C-alpha cells in the first residue's frame, strides 16, 4: 500500500508501533522469569503462567541471560528480576523482528516505542485534556471517558483502579502524536480484524480531543490459514501457538510469499497453499508472472542476436500492431497508471498482483499467436517494442511488490 502511494507522489512514512508497555510486557516479564527460574530449579518446581508466552524465544532469552549472568537474579525481588530480564530480552526480540522483516523486504522508516508515550507524559496529557473538556468521570476507582458522546457503543476506561492507563489511552496519545505533533495529513493503520470494535471509538476520540477522526483510516486484515495437501497445516510448534513469518520463509521462497500474501483484499480470509507456492508451473501465479518476464528477455535476446538493433526497436512503427492479441496487450499496458492510482485510492494493493497476472496472461497469449521473429523486419521491430514495453510494465509492477523480475528461469 505504501509503495502504491509512493508511486502516486504521496510523501509516505512507514511506521512500526512497538508494544513495549502495559500488560504485554508484564506477561513477557512473567514468562521470562518462569523460564529463568526453571533453569536453576527444574521445570517441575516452577509453574509456568497459564496465559504466558509459550514461544521458544522465551526459553532462548532466559538461557542467554543465565549464560551471561548466571544465577544472579535468584535472590532479588520479583520486580527487579522481571525488569532485568525484560531489559535484556526486549531489545534482542525487537532486533530479531527488524532482521526478520528486512529478510522479507520490509523496511520501516520509524520504529515507535509505546513506552516513550508514557515516559514523556503524553498519556497523562491526553487524560488531562479529556478531563478539561468535561469528557471524563470516576467510577469504581477508575477514570472513564464518555465515549458514547463521540460515537462509541459504551464508555471506556482510561485509567484502571490500580492507576495504570489502558491501551486505549496510549492509543489516543499515539494518534495525537501523529496528527498534532508530527502533522501527518492522513494516518492509515493496519490492524487484525479482531480489533474492528476499536475503530469507531478511536476515531471518535480524535474528534473528542479536537482533531479530525475522519483522517484516520483503518485497514483490517483477516487471518491467514496455511494449507498443505488440501488440509490446514501446522508448519512448526517451535514458536508456541503461532507460525512465524521466518518459519514460513524456511519453506517458501520470499517472492512467492510476498505475491501470495498480496493476492487478496485485506478483509478477505486467505488460504495460503504451501504446495502451490513452491511449484514451478503456470499454476503458481508468481512463477507464471516471472516466467512471462523471463520469456520476454529470451525473445529480445534472440531478435537482437539476429540483427535487430535497439535503435530499430526504439523507432518501430507501432501502427503495425493490429492483431487482437497485440491490441489487447497494448491496452492492458496503458492501464498501469490507473491501476496504481486505484490501488492507493481504495487501499487495495492486491489490484497490482491481479494486474501483473493479467498482463502475463495477455503476453503468453500474444506469444502463442504472434511470432516476434518473423520475415517482415518492420513487424518484428514493432513486436519487439511491445515485448520491451511489457517487460518494463512487469518490472515496475513487481518492483512495487518488492518481487524480483528474473531474466532467466
Q: How far apart are the first and last CA of the chain?
A: 28
Asked whether the CA dihedral 67, 71, 76, 79 is positive or negative, the reply is positive
Say if CB 201 and CB 152 are below 8 A apart: yes
Classified as helix, coil or strand, 145 is strand
Other CB atoms within 10 Å distance of the CB of residue 380: 22
Higher pLDDT, 114 or 23: 114
**pLDDT classification of 237: cutoffs 50, 70, 90:** very low
Task: State residue 233's pLDDT score.
Answer: 82
Say if CB 333 and CB 393 are below 8 A apart: yes
- Average per-residue pLDDT in the chain? 94
- List CB contacts of 9: < 8 A, sequence separation 6 or more: none
Other CB atoms within 10 Å distance of the CB of residue 224: 15
pLDDT digits (tens, 9 = 90+) for 39-92: 999 999 999 998 899 888 899 999 999 999 999 999 999 999 999 999 999 999
**Mean pLDDT throughout 161-189?**
96
Percent over 90 (pLDDT), the chain: 88
- List CB contacts of 158: < 8 A, sequence separation 6 or more: 126, 127, 130, 136, 142, 143, 144, 145, 165, 166, 168, 169
Say if CB 253 and CB 261 are below 8 A apart: no
Other CB atoms within 10 Å distance of the CB of residue 2: 19
- List CB contacts of 376: < 8 A, sequence separation 6 or more: none
Question: Pairing between strand 156-159 and 142-145?
Answer: antiparallel
| Residue whose C-alpha is closest to residue 46's, from 65, 31, 60, 61 | 31
Task: State residue 30's pLDDT score.
Answer: 97
pLDDT digits (tens, 9 = 90+) for 362-387: 999 999 999 999 989 999 999 999 99
The pTM (predicted TM-score) of the whole model is: 0.90
Other CB atoms within 10 Å distance of the CB of residue 388: 18
Whether the per-residue pLDDT at 392 is higher than 60: the answer is yes
Alpha-carbon distance 269 to 183, whole Å?
34
Whether the per-residue pLDDT at 100 is higher than 80: the answer is yes
Whether the per-residue pLDDT at 178 is higher than 70: the answer is yes
Whether the per-residue pLDDT at 36 is higher than 80: the answer is yes
What φ, ψ does residue 93 adopt, rounded to 5°?
Answer: -65, -40
CA angle 193, 195, 201 (to 5 degrees): 135
Task: State residue 97's pLDDT score.
Answer: 94
Whether the per-residue pLDDT at 325 is higher than 90: the answer is yes
Distances (CA, A) of 332 to 18, 220, 361: 41, 30, 11
For 314, the grid coordinates are 526504439
Percent over 70 (pLDDT), the chain: 98
- List CB contacts of 396: < 8 A, sequence separation 6 or more: 336
DSSP secondary-structure letter at 153?
S
The C-alpha cell 524465544 sits at 57
Task: State residue 269's pLDDT score.
Answer: 87
Amino acid at each position: 500500500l505504501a509503495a502504491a502511494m509512493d508511486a502516486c507522489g504521496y510523501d509516505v512514512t512507514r511506521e512500526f508501533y512497538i508494544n513495549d508497555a502495559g500488560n504485554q510486557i508484564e506477561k513477557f516479564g512473567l514468562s521470562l522469569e518462569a523460564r529463568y527460574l526453571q533453569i536453576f530449579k527444574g521445570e517441575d518446581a516452577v509453574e509456568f503462567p497459564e496465559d504466558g508466552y509459550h514461544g521458544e524465544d522465551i526459553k532462548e532469552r532466559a538461557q542467554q541471560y543465565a549464560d551471561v549472568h548466571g544465577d544472579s537474579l535468584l535472590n532479588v525481588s520479583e520486580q527487579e528480576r522481571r525488569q532485568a530480564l525484560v531489559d535484556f530480552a526486549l531489545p534482542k526480540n525487537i532486533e530479531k523482528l527488524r532482521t526478520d522483516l528486512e529478510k522479507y523486504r520490509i523496511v520501516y522508516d520509524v520504529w515507535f516505542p509505546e513506552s516513550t508515550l508514557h515516559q514523556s507524559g503524553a498519556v497523562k496529557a491526553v487524560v488531562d485534556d479529556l478531563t478539561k473538556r468535561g469528557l471524563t468521570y470516576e467510577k469504581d476507582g477508575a477514570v472513564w471517558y464518555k465515549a458514547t458522546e463521540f460515537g462509541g457503543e459504551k464508555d471506556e476506561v482510561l485509567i484502571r483502579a490500580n492507576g495504570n492507563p489502558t491501551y486505549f489511552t496510549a492509543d489516543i496519545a499515539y494518534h495525537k502524536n501523529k496528527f498534532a505533533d508530527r502533522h501527518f495529513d492522513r494516518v492509515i493503520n493496519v490492524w487484525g480484524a479482531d480489533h474492528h470494535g476499536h475503530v469507531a471509538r478511536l476515531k471518535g476520540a480524535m474528534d473528542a480531543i479536537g482533531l479530525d477522526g475522519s483522517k484516520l483510516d483503518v485497514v483490517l486484515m483477516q487471518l491467514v490459514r496455511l494449507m498443505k495437501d488440501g488440509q490446514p497445516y501446522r508448519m512448526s510448534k517451535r514458536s508456541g501457538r503461532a507460525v512465524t513469518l521466518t518459519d514460513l520463509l524456511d519453506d517458501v521462497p520470499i517472492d512467492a510469499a510476498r505475491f501470495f500474501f498480496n493476492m487478496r483484499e485485506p478483509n478477505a480470509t486467505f488460504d495460503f497453499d504451501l504446495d502451490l507456492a513452491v511449484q514451478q508451473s503456470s499454476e503458481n501465479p508468481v512463477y507464471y508472472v516471472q516466467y512471462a518476464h523471463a520469456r520476454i528477455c529470451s525473445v529480445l535476446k534472440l531478435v537482437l542476436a539476429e540483427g535487430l538493433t535497439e535503435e530499430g526497436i526504439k523507432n518501430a512503427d507501432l501502427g503495425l500492431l493490429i492483431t487482437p492479441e497485440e491490441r489487447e496487450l497494448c491496452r492492458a499496458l496503458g492501464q498501469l497508471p490507473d491501476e496504481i492510482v486505484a490501488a492507493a485510492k481504495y487501499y487495495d494493493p492486491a489490484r497490482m498482483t491481479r494486474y501483473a497476472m493479467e498482463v502475463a496472461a495477455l503476453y503468453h497469449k500474444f506469444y502463442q499467436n504472434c511470432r516476434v521473429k518473423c520475415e517482415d523486419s518492420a513487424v518484428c521491430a514493432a513486436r519487439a517494442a511491445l515485448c520491451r514495453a511489457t517487460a518494463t510494465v512487469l518490472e515496475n509492477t513487481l518492483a512495487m511488490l518488492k518481487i524480483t523480475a528474473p531474466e532467466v528461469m
